[in-house]
Structure 1
Amino acid sequence: MKRTMRMLLIPLLLFLVATGFSTRHTGEGQTLYEQHCARCHGADGTRGMFGAKNLQKSLLPDTAIALQIRNGKRIMPPFKKRLTPDQINELTTYIKTLRKPAI
């Protein structure tokens, strides 16, 4: 019984360590999103106001998300002068938590 439990817990713990203990990221990223992004993208990432993309369906990698935050795209303004690189990384991480898993 103990051996079976260990076999189940060890991979789970390794997974949690590899993913940062949580797939839901809160904190500064969420606050930044609410301040700068939610107006157009919506609180859950689906609004699409002014042509904003549905972030729940986004498949962009981290680097592409950060690039769009820094430089803007179409009507979306650039944030490179308003946010630090660390804040952009926090925001990128939070935006990925809005994604819905593909069925």
Structure 2
Amino acid sequence: MYIILIPLLLFLITTGFSTRHTGEGQALYDHHCARCHGADGTRGMFGAKNLQKSLLPDTAIALQIRNGKRIMPPFKKKLTPDQIDELSAYIKTLRKPAI
């Protein structure tokens, strides 16, 4: 049992527990975020961070979406809490594993 459980746990830890969300999170990202962050999260226009290299935890991602940061506008009045969670989950799927 441990022979299967340990490699599975290591895999989940190294991938950041991310899964490919393609539902509302991707549509929200395409509409609100891709202009500055790029379709794959690497564009960096206007100082936007490379989301493929982000190591922020879920709560920090949601907080930045909610409140904005520097030139990034806040979305707390534009998106529901559930939409922010969906968007946060999708943003995590853009991460590339560290080599």
TM bucket, shorter chain: 0.7 to 0.9
1:75-90 correspondence runs (5 A): 75-90=71-86
Query: Any idea what SS the aligned residue of 1:34 has?
Result: helix
How far, CA to CA, are the matches of 2:86 and 2:66 in structure 1? 13
How far, CA to CA, are the matches of 1:80 and 1:30 in structure 2? 18
Aligned pair count? 89
Aligned to 1:52: 48
| TM-score normalized with structure 2 length | 0.83
How far, CA to CA, are the matches of 2:43 and 2:65 in structure 1? 17
| TM-score normalized with structure 1 length | 0.80
Determine which of 72, 96, 100 is the counterpart of 2:96. 100
Aligned to 2:32: 36
CA-based RMSD: 1.8
Q: State the Cα distance separating 1:31 from its structure 2 match.
A: 0.1
Aligned to 1:19: none
What letter is aligned with 1:49? M
Larger radius of gyration: 1
Query: Any idea what SS the aligned residue of 2:22 has?
Result: coil
Structure 2: stretches of 5+ with no match in the other structure: 10-17
Q: State the Cα distance separating 1:23 from its structure 2 match.
A: 1.7
Query: Any idea what SS the aligned residue of 1:39 has?
Result: helix
How far, CA to CA, are the matches of 1:98 and 1:72 in structure 2? 19
